[in-house]
Structure formats: C-alpha cells, structure tokens
Amino acid sequence: MSNNIMEFRHVSQQFGNNVVLRDIDFEIEAGKFYTLLGPSGSGKTTILRLIAGFDQPTSGEIYFDGQQINDVPANRRQVNTVFQDYALFPHMNVAENVAFGLQIKGVKKAETDRRVKEALHLVQLDGYGPREITAMSGGQRQRVAIARAIVNRPKLLLLDEALSALDHKLRVEMQTELRQLQRQLGITFIFVTHDQEEALAMSDQIMIINDGTIQQSGTPVDIYDEPLNHFVADFIGESNIVPGVMKADYLVTIDGQDFECVDAGMRPNERVEVVIRPEDLDITTADQGKLTVTVDTQLFRGVDYQITAHDQRDHEWKINSIHQTTVGAQVGLAFDPEDIHVMRYNESEEDFDARLDSYEEDD
C-alpha cells in the first residue's frame, strides 16, 4: 500500500449498452513508468479519462494517494495529461500555453516565468516561448504539450498515444527522451500506446489490455518471455504458436514429438499452446534439427531475413535468421528447452503467477 499512488478497484465503464471496461483492477507504484498497451478500441483512452477525471466510472472505485477520488473533478486532481492531439490552445503562444496551469493556480508572475523557462528547457525548447503554435512542427508541439503538463509538477502524468503522430525516426528519439525525462523528474508516467515495440522499449511495467480487460501485467521481459495467453503472445512480438500436450513437468509433445522444456505445474496430458519466438529458431541442416521444415518464402529486412517454412504436418513456422537460406530447401530447426514457452488455455493471471512461483522456487 505504502508506495501506491493510484489504484483501480473493480472499475467498469459502460456507455449505454456498450461495456467498454470490465472489472479493471490495478495498482500504480509511485515513480515508475507504466505503459497501457492494447489494440485500438480496447479501452486505453477510457482508462486514462477515468484517471484524469474527465469521466466517472459506472462502477468501482478509483484511489489516488489512498483517497477515493471518484467524484473529484478533473480540475482538482494532481494529474496532468498529454493529449493524443496535443490539445494546445491555438490562441496562445508556446509560453502562454505552458504558463496556463500556473496562472490558473495563481502562481506569481516571476515564478511562473521561471518555471515555464525551466519546463521549456527540460523539453529542449529553450527560447521558443514567444513562438506561435502554428509555427511549431509536430515534434515541437509534442514537446510543448509535455512541458505544459510537467510544469505543474503533477504526481501522475498521463500520455495518450503521445508519440503516435510522429514519424518513425522522431518517435524513437522521443522515446529515449521521455524515458530520461521521467527518471529525471521522478514523476509517475502512465503512457498509452498500441505499439508494442514502443511499450517494450520504454516501460518499467506494461499492462496489456484487450476488449476492456487487463490481460497481463509485468515487466517487458516477463511479458515477452512468458506471455500468459495466445493474445499476449501474438500481440507482443512475433511468435509461432502451435498446439501441444503437456506430458509431464518439463516435457511437452508437439505433433507426437517430445521436447524438453522449462515449464511445469500443469495436469498430466493437459492440452496447451506452445510458443517459440522466430528469433529463437536457428536454421541447420535437416538431420541436425529438432524439426524438419521446407522453406516457403524469404524476405530480406536489413538486420535479418524473415523466413517462412512448413513442417510435415503443414504447421507454418516463422524464422528470423541472420543467415540466408534457399526457398524450397529442406532445413532443420534447432532450439533450446528455454526457447519453448508453454501456455495453458484460460489461465488467469493470478493462477499463472502462482504456478510460475511454485516451480521457480523449486529450482
């Protein structure tokens, strides 16, 4: 409880008959960088709007610093938002935009000026204060929006698809800067995106949301290495997902062929799904591989080749390899037991965590 700045308890949101959020529960620890990741329409913005106070939940409680804040209006919450479309006031220049929140609070002119300058410095916009918003580029507007929010020293900063409107190069640059800024200021960030690479690159913690429910939360590495279910495995990174049967602890069968793995805690002979990441598959000769496949396509992507192949049972395999192969060739696929991740059908996040704890303690 001590370090939690924000908490949702059984929060649901409904617009008319349309249930947008179902029983959302989470806790946000102070000082960390959180990312809400999910496909568009999954309810991410709705969650942010509840946190900011633009909407009230249909049911459930929202806590901020230990206080229930369901009925506290947006203008009295210590939360600031960086909007997806920036929402910069078009009739004010950069400095006036950044100063807005301070002026509303009645902060003295001298102090306002100083803090505006400081905030613009933090987002590397020194000297841009007198510029019109229309004279700023997309990336610069983005920074103004961030400066306008952080100048108020909120306890929690919400960023809704903050980088989505930028082109790729600028976006990657801003990712690093945002992360640095968050460390420097020590403000808790909740960042919303539908871009999984962005989420993996920036976050301390990721919450994956789909269809109004949180699917899995954890560190980027946890989520990437140990996805809870088909949706998460598919949404985060590329993956080969094939059905299998868990014969015993640490032994899984795919299409009648046994493989050693590092998963345990399931019922004997339970039907499961097996995930192997394309970059964990190595191409060798047909006789050395654990699986034999025929290469169908090969695309050069700069860093590596993206290869698709099929096995005897017509399962398709995606392979990322730095070595070239030949379309039509029969090759072997090699991988280690750690490269296999086994998922149970319909396992809840608590059960999943408990199971992992149980056998990882054994080790």
Partner 1 sequence: MRQKVIFTVPYALWILLFVIAPLVLIFYQSFFNIDGQVTLGNYATYLTSGVYLKMTLNSVWYAFLITLVTLVISYPTAYVLNHLPNRQFWLLLVILPTWINLLLKTYAFIGLFSRTGTVNQFLQFVGLGSHQLLFTDASFMFVAAYIEIPFMVLPIFNSLAEINPSLINASKDLGASQWQTFTKVVWPLSLPGVKAGIQAVFIPSLSLFMITRLIGGNRVITLGTAIEEHFLTTQNWGMGSTIGVILILAMFIVMFVTGEGRQKGGTALMKKHRFTWGGLYLALVFVILYAPILYLMIFSFSAGKTMEKYHGFSFQHYTDLFADSRMITIVINTLIVALLASLIATIIGTMGALVIKDSRGTWRNSLLSLNNVLMVSPDVIIGASFLIFFTVLGIRLGFVSVLLSHIAFCIPIVVLMVLPKLNELSPTLVDAAYDLGASRWQTLSRVILPAIAPGIFAGYFMALTYSLDDFAVTFFVTGNGFSTLSVEIYSRARQGINLEINALSTLMFIVSLLLVVGYYFISKHSGRRNRIVAVKEGDAQ
Ligand X SMILES: Nc1ncnc2c1ncn2[C@@H]1O[C@H](COP(=O)(O)OP(=O)(O)O)[C@@H](O)[C@H]1O
Q: Which stretch binds ligand X (CB under 6 A): 37-45, 106-114, 220-228, 353-361?
A: 37-45
Length of the chain: 363
Among 3, 10, 15, 219, binds ligand X (CB under 6 A): 15
Told to check if 54 binds ligand X by CB under 6 A, we report no
Q: Residue 105 binds what, of Mg ion, ligand X, partner 1, none (CB under 5 to 8 Å, by partner type)?
A: partner 1
Q: Residue 89 binds what, of ligand X, partner 1, Mg ion, none (CB under 5 to 8 Å, by partner type)?
A: partner 1
Binding mask 24-63 for Mg ion (x = CB under 5 A): ---------------------x------------------
Cβ proximity to Mg ion, 43 vs 278, nearer residue: 43
Q: In the complex, what is the shortest distance from the CB of residue 44 to Mg ion, in angstroms, rounded to a whole number?
A: 5
Q: In the complex, what is the shortest distance from the CB of residue 42 to ligand X, in angstroms, rounded to a whole number?
A: 4
Cβ proximity to ligand X, 42 vs 93, nearer residue: 42
**Residue 298 and residue 327 in contact, taking contact as beta carbons nearer than 8 Å:** yes
Told to check if 20 binds ligand X by CB under 6 A, we report yes
- Structure tokens given for 18: 């349309």
Q: Which stretch binds ligand X (CB under 6 A): 39-47, 65-73, 117-125, 229-237?
A: 39-47
For binding to partner 1 (CB under 8 A), which residues are involved?
A: 49, 52-54, 73-76, 79-81, 83-85, 87-93, 96, 100-101, 104-105, 127, 129-132, 148-149, 152
Told to check if 210 binds Mg ion by CB under 5 A, we report no
Q: In the complex, what is the shortest distance from the CB of residue 194 to partner 1, in angstroms, rounded to a whole number?
A: 18
Told to check if 115 binds ligand X by CB under 6 A, we report no
Binding mask 140-159 for Mg ion (x = CB under 5 A): --------------------
Q: In the complex, what is the shortest distance from the CB of residue 310 to partner 1, in angstroms, rounded to a whole number?
A: 43
Told to check if 196 binds Mg ion by CB under 5 A, we report no
- Spatial distance between the Cα atoms of 209 and 231, rounded to a whole number of angstroms: 10
3-state SS record for the chain: CCCEEEEEEEEEEEECCEEEEEEEEEEEECCCEEEEECCCCCCHHHHHHHHHCCCCCCEEEEEECCEECCCCCHHHCCEEEECCCCCCCCCCEHHHHHHHHHHHHCCCHHHHHHHHHHHHHHCCCCCCCCCEHHHCCHHHHHHHHHHHHHCCCCCEEEEECCCCCCCHHHHHHHHHHHHHHHHHHCCEEEEEECCHHHHHHHCCEEEEEECCEEEEEECHHHHHHCCCCHHHHHHCCCCEEEEEEEEECCEEEECCEEEECCCCCCCCCEEEEEEECHHHCEEECCCCCCEEEEEEEEEECCCCEEEEEEECCCCEEEEEECCCCCCCCEEEEECCHHHCEEEECCCCHHHHHHHHHHHHHHC
Among 26, 33, 34, 43, binds ligand X (CB under 6 A): 43
Interaction site with Mg ion (CB under 5 A) = 45
Interaction site with ligand X (CB under 6 A) = 15, 18, 20, 38, 40-46
